Amino acid sequence: MPGSDQHINNINLDRIHKYLSDQKENINLFLKKLVLAESPSSDPKAQEAVFQLLSDKLESLDFDSIHYPGEKTGGFLFVKPKNRKKHQSIQLLIGHCDTVWPLGTINQMKLQTSDGKMSGPGVYDMKAGLTQIIFAIQTIKKLNLDLPLTPVILMNSDEEIGSRESGKSIERLSKIASRAYILEPPLGIDGKLKTARKGIGRFTLTIKGKAAHAGLDPGKGASAIVELSHQVQRLFAMNDPEKGITVNVGMIEGGISPNMVAPHSKAIIDVRVLTIKDAEDITKKIHSLKAIDPDVIVDIKGAIKRPPMEKTKRNQKLWTVAKEAGNQLGLELEQATAGGGSDGNTTSLHTATLDGLGTTGDGAHAIHEFIFLDQLIERTKLLILLLLAEPIKMFEK
């Protein structure tokens, strides 16, 4: 795809459909096991169970699974076929097993299956996507379908906290991959694929003023809080909705007591941008902020840690492959831009990337989190077709 010679034939489509239909109970059971194995980002010990489930299943499919432990996180699984075709390029599949939910959430936010949905902590974001990877690989193996690119899988446990420890490995792999598929949830209840994501930055603005008694000697002080109020206005003035630039001062603190001129204050700023150029420009603007009061010191630290995933030419070519694959399956896929980041922001810098390939549902980071069970099968089929698609020649980013 594109081109009829790259379309999987109807016989194989029927075989894929039948196999996954026969596996429906096993697919749902495996996903339930993943959800019940609670794995918050903040608890590396808790993540051992979900890593074991994934590793055991992949080992049974003739893949080598290596666990690289993190220093402060649970680390990640690196998975590759035991019998790889020599000199064949790779295609990268990425998913994360960590969730935002603390241990014990499963007791209140119970795993439930009803009305064609499965709900529970992490089911949508993104243990359904991990399940898709497993059963896409299993289907291809059991049906003896020929892969044009070797699948290499990375499953990390720190994505929800910025992939602080796994990010470098993701970057190294994306530099040698022909394409990358990110199994994050799709966007919206209609399941749009994510072909662009905003870049995300975190900045800290610290102000050092001069303390003084607010009643006796206010003129001898220099208020860090007053200075902060001016800087907050400057920061909000940097918002540019037309360009998709958001600058949000989400946290502030300062002062010691009500009867003191505040000697210090601090603000933490969230920044989101659509392009690398805008990331560079807004970073310069923030770091160029100067104090209005000459008696205070303004210090700024921070950067755009996750660069934007832009709608590059190669990403759009990969989107075309997905759209045609969707047509074969009777899915009318749409593309969209996400305000949040993922590991796709990293891979997109180096290779063609398609994100949001997980299962349609709703409620990421929310108590009503769920997936549509029929879409778990459909999106697994879509992933299979994408893995079987011939690589596209791409000379432009």
pLDDT of 306-315, one tens digit each?
999 999 999 9
As a whole number, mean pLDDT of residues 52-66 equals 98
DSSP-assigned letter for residue 120: S
User: Which single residue is written with the structure tokens 């010679």?
Assistant: 5
The amino acid at 15 = R
**Per-residue pLDDT tens digits for 319-328:** 999 999 999 9
pLDDT at 396: 56
DSSP-assigned letter for residue 123: I
Beta strands in the chain (DSSP E): 63-68, 76-81, 90-96, 112-114, 117-119, 150-156, 177-182, 193-197, 199-208, 212-213, 246-254, 260-261, 264-273, 297-306, 335-338, 352-354, 361-362, 370-372
Please, are residues 160 and 167 in contact by the beta-carbon 8 Å criterion? no
* The two structure tokens encoding residue 190: 């209609």
**Per-residue pLDDT tens digits for 96-121:** 999 999 999 999 999 999 999 999 99
Per DSSP, what are the bridge partners of residue 336? 194
Helix/strand/coil for 44: coil
DSSP-assigned letter for residue 102: P
Phi, then psi, of 32 in degrees rounded to 5: -60, -40
**Per-residue pLDDT tens digits for 37-52:** 999 999 999 999 999 9
Q: What whole-number distance in Å separates Cα of residue 354 and Cα of residue 92? A: 11
Q: Give yes or no for residue 2 having a pLDDT over 70.
A: no
DSSP-assigned letter for residue 309: B
* The two structure tokens encoding residue 126: 């993104």
The amino acid at 143 = L
pLDDT at 191: 98
Q: What whole-number distance in Å separates Cα of residue 146 and Cα of residue 143? A: 9
Please, are residues 224 and 263 in contact by the beta-carbon 8 Å criterion? yes
Total Cβ atoms within 10 A of residue 80: 16
Q: Give yes or no for residue 395 having a pLDDT over 80.
A: no
Q: Give yes or no for residue 6 having a pLDDT over 60.
A: no
Give the pLDDT band (50/70/90) at residue 393: confident
Mean pLDDT over each residue of the chain, to the nearest integer: 96
pLDDT at 60: 98
> Can you state the angle between helices 128-142 and 10-22, rounded to 10 degrees?
120
Q: What whole-number distance in Å separates Cα of residue 162 and Cα of residue 346? A: 11
Q: Give yes or no for residue 16 having a pLDDT over 80.
A: yes
pLDDT at 86: 87
pLDDT at 284: 98
As a whole number, mean pLDDT of residues 284-306 equals 97
Q: Give yes or no for residue 9 having a pLDDT over 90.
A: no
Question: If we measure between CA atoms, which residue out of 194, 196, 185, 132 comes closest to residue 333?
Answer: 194
Q: Give yes or no for residue 7 having a pLDDT over 90.
A: no
Instruction: Set out the domains of the chain in order of their start, with CATH numbers.
Output: 4-198+308-388 (3.40.630.10), 199-306 (3.30.70.360)
pLDDT at 1: 35
What pTM did the predictor assign? 0.91
Tally of CA atoms within 13 A in the half-sphere of 377 that contains its CB: 17
CA angle (355 as vertex; 120, 275 as ends), nearest 5:
125
